[in-house]
Structures are given as C-alpha cells and as structure tokens.
C-alpha cells in the first residue's frame, strides 16, 4: 500500500506541474495594452516635389508643405502669370484634373462641321484664342461691308457665327418730298417702307414677301446719309445678307412702285408704311 500511495502522490504532482506551466505560458502570450501599430517606410510625393512620411498612431501621412506666393497655383506651378490661358492649362494643370484644351486644328474641324460653313469658307489664318471667354475665333471668307465675320468655337465644342459689325456702314439713303410729306428713299429715289411685324428689329419678310418687298441691302456703292434725326443700323437676314435699318426698323422698297416718288405701298395690309425721318 505504501508504494501505491507514493506513486499516486507523484502523479498528482506531475499533473499540477503541467497545469502551472500552461497557465504561465498563456499569460505571457497576452499582448500589452499599450502596443502600437508599426508603420511602413512608404513616402508620399507632394505637389512641390518634396516627400513626407507616415506619422501618428494610425499611420497617416504628414501634411505636405503649403505653397505660398501670388505667382503659384495650388499645385506649385510657378510663373503662371507669364503664360497665356491655354499655355497655363497645358503646362500647369495635371492631366487628370482638367480635359485637354482644343488646339486651333481641333477648332477648325468643329467650325467646318457647323453652321458657320453656311456663311463661307473658314480659315485658321490669323486665328485668335480669347483667354477670357475660352473661345477660338476663326475667320470666314465672306465680304460684308462694315463687318468682320468670324466663326466662334466654344469649349463645349459648338460653334456659331459672330458678324462683328461695327455699325460704321454708309448707306445710299436720302429724303424726298411726297404727298405724304418728307420720306426716306433709296439712291434711285424709290420710296422706302417699314414692316410693322419687324418691330423687334429683325426682318420677318421672306419668300414671296421679299419678292414683293425687296429689302434694302448694303452694297459697295455707298453714300453717307446726313441730317437725319434717327439712327441707321443693320439687320442680319437669314441668308446672311445685311439689310439697312432706320431706328431699328429694316427698310424695304415696293415692287408695285413704278417710278421714283411713288408711294403705292403705303398702308397695304395695315402693316406697310413709308418711313419719315422723324419716325
């Protein structure tokens, strides 16, 4: 019995020793509460070309240096004041931040696929880029006295005609006395009329109307009107011709007037009237 008791006691001691070892091992594997995360050695390149590393408990990057000065943009493009707008966009702004601006060749292609071609051939000779409106201005080979037409191409890749008329156009218009008083006539003495639906200054007389009422167009043979209390101007027609206007009303002759001084068109349809200098 004594031998069995001794063996049993030894067995109990071995079991207790194993339990103690296991307990101490688990305790040592518990990480300390204040353990911090290890950051990599990665670096971040800043807009000014410098590099910053990771910092802080969450491995965030340190802030990049701020760029200061009136001659730098937010990306550090120095000397931008010396660039044109187009050069500035190409040289200073990163490609993924702004679309590539069109070249004059791009603008020419857009213009030639637009309604600008209805006015005449478009050329990039003396093409101008407007930094303020971000538009290309291309010349149109068409003659309009007092005007310098151009095809304007916009950033959204649309285009339209701008006639650029200065108003410095001289007309063959004079006055004559008639049974209706002093009226405006053309250079040959035929009576000039206004059409009341044109009240907004835009001609509304086309097709059969303009056959009966030919518009007074700007021509190369000109003489300056003088002594008029009103103002002469132009009204652009849909066929791209330039019509003379007086106080904003486009002027017409009448096919039913057989001779200079006739006023047969007066009052027709309640819409056609001779034009007095004081109108």
Question: Domain boundaries in the chain?
Answer: 42-98, 104-162, 173-274
Model pLDDT, residue 167: 45
Model pLDDT, residue 194: 95
Largest CA distance in the chain: 159
5-9 own/partner pairs: CB under 8 Å, 24+ apart? none
CA distance 141 to 11: 114
Tens-level pLDDT at each residue, the chain (279 residues) = 455 566 666 667 666 666 666 555 544 444 444 555 566 656 777 766 677 777 767 777 788 776 544 444 444 454 444 555 555 555 554 444 444 568 899 999 999 999 888 888 998 888 888 877 788 999 988 766 556 788 999 988 999 888 775 544 445 677 777 788 888 888 788 899 999 999 778 899 998 898 899 998 876 555 556 677 888 878 888 887 888 888 889 999 999 998 888 999 999 999 999 998 887
Model pLDDT, residue 158: 92
Model pLDDT, residue 90: 52
Summarize pLDDT for 73-114 with one digit per residue, the tens.
444 454 444 555 555 555 554 444 444 568 899 999 999 999
Model pLDDT, residue 73: 46
CA distance 56 to 53: 10
Which tokens is 197 given? 């639906």
Which tokens is 107 given? 């603008």
């Amino acid at each position: 019995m004594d031998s069995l008791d001794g063996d049993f006691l030894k067995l109990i001691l071995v079991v207790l020793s194993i339990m103690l070892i296991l307990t101490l091992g688990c305790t040592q594997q518990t990480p300390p509460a204040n353990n911090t995360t290890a950051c990599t050695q990665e670096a971040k390149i800043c807009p000014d070309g410098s590099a910053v590393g990771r910092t802080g408990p969450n491995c965030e990057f340190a802030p990049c240096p701020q760029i200061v000065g009136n001659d730098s943009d937010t990306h550090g493009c120095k000397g931008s004041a010396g660039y044109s707008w187009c050069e500035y966009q190409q040289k200073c702004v990163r490609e993924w931040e702004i679309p590539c601006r069109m070249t004059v060749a791009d603008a020419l292609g857009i213009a030639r696929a637009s309604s600008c071609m209805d006015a005449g051939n478009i050329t990039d000779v003396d093409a101008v880029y407007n930094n303020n409106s971000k538009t290309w201005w291309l010349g149109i080979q068409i003659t309009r006295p007092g005007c310098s037409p151009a095809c304007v191409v916009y950033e959204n890749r649309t285009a339209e005609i701008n006639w650029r008329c200065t108003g410095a156009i001289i007309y063959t218009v004079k006055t004559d006395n008639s049974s209706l008083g002093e009226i405006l006539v053309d250079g040959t003495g035929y009576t000039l009329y206004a059409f009341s639906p044109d009240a907004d200054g835009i001609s509304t007389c086309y097709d059969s109307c303009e056959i009966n009422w030919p518009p007074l167009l700007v021509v190369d043979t000109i003489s300056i009107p003088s002594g008029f209390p009103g103002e002469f101007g132009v009204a652009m027609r849909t066929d791209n011709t330039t019509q003379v206007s007086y106080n904003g009303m486009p002027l017409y002759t009448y096919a039913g007037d057989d001779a200079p001084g006739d006023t047969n068109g007066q009052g027709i349809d309640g819409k056609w009237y001779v034009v007095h200098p004081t109108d």
